[in-house]
Amino acid sequence: MYSYRGRYLVIDLTTRTAEVAELGHSLLKDYLGGVGLGTRLLYERCPEGTDPLDPGNPLIFASSSLTGTMSPASAAHAVVTKSPLTGLLGDSLSFGNWSLSLKSAGYDALVITGRSDTPVYLWIDDDYVHFRQADGLWGKGASETSKSIRSQAGDGRVQVAAIGPGGENLVRYACISNDGYRQAGRTGCGAVMGSKRLKAIAIRGTQPVSVFDGDEMRRTCAGLYSRSQAARKQNFRGLGTPYNVMLLNRIAALPTWNFQEGAFPGAEDVSGEKLADTCLARVVACPTCPLGCEHLYSASHRDRDNSNIETALDYGSLSALGPMCGINDISTILKAALLCHSHGIDTISTGNAIAWAMESFQKGILDRNDTDGVDLAFGNGEALLQMIDLIGRRAGLGSLLAEGVMRAATVTGRDSDQWAMHTKGLELPGYDPRTMKTQALALAVGLRGGYYNRSSSYELDMVHILDRMESQTGWGKLNMEQEDLAAIFDSLITCKAMRDSFTNFLPEAAGLYTVATGIEMSAGDLRLAGERINNLKKVFNIKHGWKKADDWLPPRLLQDPVTFRESQSVVLSPEVLRALIEDYYTARGWTSEGLVPVTKMRELGMADILEEGNS
Ligand code: SF4
C-alpha cells in the first residue's frame, strides 16, 4: 500500500498482549483515516452499554492517508473513544512528531483496551511492543514524563504521548499530550487512558512513508504551500488564534462571566495584539505546516514571584480562562494555561467549570464552606489558579468540578443547571451562539457535543456570509455541508487552518488523496466519505443512548438576551432553534426524531452495519 500501512495494532493491557490486524482498501477509502477510521474501529469494538471508564472502552489513536507525507499541515493523529464527559462519541485531534512516529512505526491505528493492574507505559519500537512499569512516572506531568522516557532511551527519534495527574485522577476532561505542548484536549480521552493505568505511549518509528506519485504530490503541495502565504493569513500568523478576542468582542460573541454577557470590558488587556506586544516569546509550527499558528508566550516581566513562564495559549484556552472567569490579567491567564497543561486537563472545560462555580458562588449556591475558604468571585485570579490545582488533584471542590459542569450541576441542584454551559455534557467553547445563529445550530446538534470546529459554521457568521443575527431556511443544509467538510479535514488529516489555501477543496483534496495513496478518489467520493463519517458518528451515538432532547442548548442561551453595542438586546428563541434543528434533520435525510433511516445508510454504503441501524 502507498501512504497507508494497511494494518493496525491491537493492545490488551489486561493480558499484556499485542496483535496486528489488517485494514483493507475499501474501508480506508470509505473512512479515510483519522477521525473517520477511529470512529469506524470504535463502532466495531465498543459494545453498547460500555462505561467510558471501564476496561472495555477502546482508546483509539488513528493516523491518516496524508500523515507522514509532504502534504502541508498533515502531521496529525486523532484520538477516538467513548467520552467520559458525554457518554457518546469522543474525538480529538493533535499534531506533532508523535503523529509521524505512529505512522512510521508501521501502523494506521492503535486500539488499546483492558486495564493494567499496575501503572505501565507502552514502548513501541516498530514491530516490537513492550509493556514497561511506570510506577516512577505516575504522578508526574506529561512533559516531565516525556523527558524522562526520552532521556532514558537516549534516542531523539523516540516520541512520547502521555497523561498528567488529571488523567490519572480520572478528571473527565483530562487530555493526552504529545511533543511537550500539543494536546488531544477535548472530550476526556486522557481520563480513559488513566482508567487503563496507561501513563504513556513511547514510539520509535523508522519506516519511511512512500507515496504513489511523488512528482504530482510535489506539484500539488507546492501550490498549497504557495497559496497558504496569502496576505489574509498575516493576522493569523502574527497574532495566532488570540486574534479572535477583539473580533468576537466587537460582535458580542466573546463569552464573558460564564455567558452572562457577550463582550468583556477587559478584552483589550487580553487581546492577541496585547499578547504579541508584551509577552510573545516565539512562534512555532507543527511539522509540515507553513502557517505556524502556535504562539508561545512568556509572562516573566509581570510575574509576581519572578519565575519564568512560557506556554502555548490559543484563543479557546484564553477565552475560557480569561473573560469566562472575568480575568483580565494576561500573566494570570498564562499561569492558568500552564497549570492546566501540567495537570493534563483541557483548558476549555476547566475554565468553563470554574466559571460555573464562580457564578454559583455569586448566586450564593456555593459559599466559602464549599470552597475551602476561597473567595471564588469572578475576576479573582488567585482563586482561578487554586481551583485548577484542586481539579487536577481532585481535591475539595475540585473533585466536583472534575466531573464537568453537567454532572456538577446535577449533584449541586438548586437550579444550577440553568447556568451549566454545555451541550451533551461537553463544555461550550468561546463563541456566543446568541449573536452567531449558524453556530447555535452547530453547537446544538454537534455529534461530540458543543464545539465550534466540528462544523466550522462559526466561519459563516464571522465573515458575514450570513446575517448572523437572523436564522433562515437553508441553514440546516449549510451546517450539514460544513460538518461533512470538517469530517474530511479531520480524517485526511489536514489542519483546518489550511482551508483557504485550497481553490476548490473537494477536487483538490481528492486529487491529493489519490496521488498519496494510489486509490482513486473523486470529489463526489470524498464528499460522500464526509457524510458517511458523520452518519456513522450519529449511529454510534444512538446505539449508546443519544436522545433527541440532547440536541439542544443550555437554558441561559434561550432565555437571557445578550447585549450588543451597549443598547441592543439579542435573543435566541427556542422556536428559532427548533426550526433550525428541523431544517438540519431534513437536510441530513434523517427522520423528524433525528434518527438515521435504513435508506440513508444504504445510500451511504453502510450496508455492513445495517442490522444495527436505528429506524
Ligand atoms: S495551523 Fe497551527 S495547529 Fe494547524 S498545523 Fe499549523 S501550527 Fe499546527
How far apart are the CA of 94 and the centre of ligand 1, in A?
A: 10
Is 293 a pocket residue for ligand 1 (Cβ < 6 Å)?
A: yes
Per-residue pLDDT band for 324 (boundaries 50, 70, 90) equals very high
Cell numbers that stand for 338 in this block? 500552564
User: Distance between CA 255 and CA 456 in Å, rounded?
Assistant: 18
pLDDT higher than 70, residue 612: no
> Domain spanning 7-204: which CATH class is it, in words?
alpha beta
Q: What is the pLDDT of residue 460?
A: 72
User: Distance between CA 379 and CA 494 in Å, rounded?
Assistant: 38
Residue with CA nearest ligand 1 atom 4: 495
Q: Where are the domains of the chain?
A: 7-204, 231-427, 436-612
Give the position, in ligand 1's atom list, of the atom nearest the Cα of 236: 1
How far apart are the CA of 145 and the centre of ligand 1, in A?
A: 24
Q: Comparing 109-123, 235-249, 263-277, 356-370, which segment has the lowest mean pLDDT?
A: 235-249
Cell numbers that stand for 115 in this block? 486495564
How far apart are the CA of 239 and the centre of ligand 1, in A?
A: 13
How far apart are the CA of 291 and the centre of ligand 1, in A?
A: 6
Cell numbers that stand for 279 in this block? 509577552
Minimal CA–CA distance to 262: which of 560, 518, 603?
560
Is 95 a pocket residue for ligand 1 (Cβ < 6 Å)?
A: yes
Q: Comparing 201-215, 228-242, 263-277, which segment has the lowest mean pLDDT?
A: 228-242
Higher pLDDT pick, 585 / 236: 585
Structure letter (DSSP) for residue 208? P
Is 41 a pocket residue for ligand 1 (Cβ < 6 Å)?
A: no
Measuring CA to CA, how many Å separate 452 from each of 241, 419, 549? 13, 19, 20
User: Distance between CA 450 and CA 83 in Å, rounded?
Assistant: 13
- Residues ≥6 apart with Cβ < 8 Å to 481: none
Is 291 a pocket residue for ligand 1 (Cβ < 6 Å)?
A: yes
Residue with CA nearest ligand 1 atom 5: 73
CATH architecture type of domain 436-612:
Orthogonal Bundle (1.10)
- pTM of the predicted model as reported, rounded to 2 decimal places: 0.95
Structure letter (DSSP) for residue 154? T
Give the position, in ligand 1's atom list, of the atom nearest the Cα of 293: 2
Q: What is the pLDDT of residue 467?
A: 63
pLDDT in tens, 126-171: 999 999 999 999 999 999 999 999 999 999 999 999 999 999 999 9
Is 111 a pocket residue for ligand 1 (Cβ < 6 Å)?
A: no
Give the position, in ligand 1's atom list, of the atom nearest the Cα of 75: 5
Per-residue pLDDT band for 301 (boundaries 50, 70, 90) equals very low
Is 460 a pocket residue for ligand 1 (Cβ < 6 Å)?
A: no
Q: Is the dihedral of CA 527, 531, 533, 534 positive or negative?
A: positive
Mutate to test the pocket of ligand 1, among 98, 224, 286, 490 (most ligand atoms within 8 A of CB): 286
pLDDT in tens, 439-467: 899 999 999 998 888 887 777 766 665 56
- When pLDDT is averaged across residues 23-44 and rounded to a whole number, the result is 97
Is 285 a pocket residue for ligand 1 (Cβ < 6 Å)?
A: yes
Is 73 a pocket residue for ligand 1 (Cβ < 6 Å)?
A: yes
Q: What is the pLDDT of residue 144?
A: 94
Which CATH number is 231-427 given? 1.10.569.10
Give the position, in ligand 1's atom list, of the atom nearest the Cα of 292: 7
Give the position, in ligand 1's atom list, of the atom nearest the Cα of 496: 4
Instruction: Decide: helix, strand or coil at residue 444.
Output: helix
Q: What is the pLDDT of residue 304?
A: 45
Residue with CA nearest ligand 1 atom 8: 286
Is 149 a pocket residue for ligand 1 (Cβ < 6 Å)?
A: no
CA dihedral 557, 563, 565, 567 (to 10 degrees): 140
pLDDT higher than 90, residue 189: yes
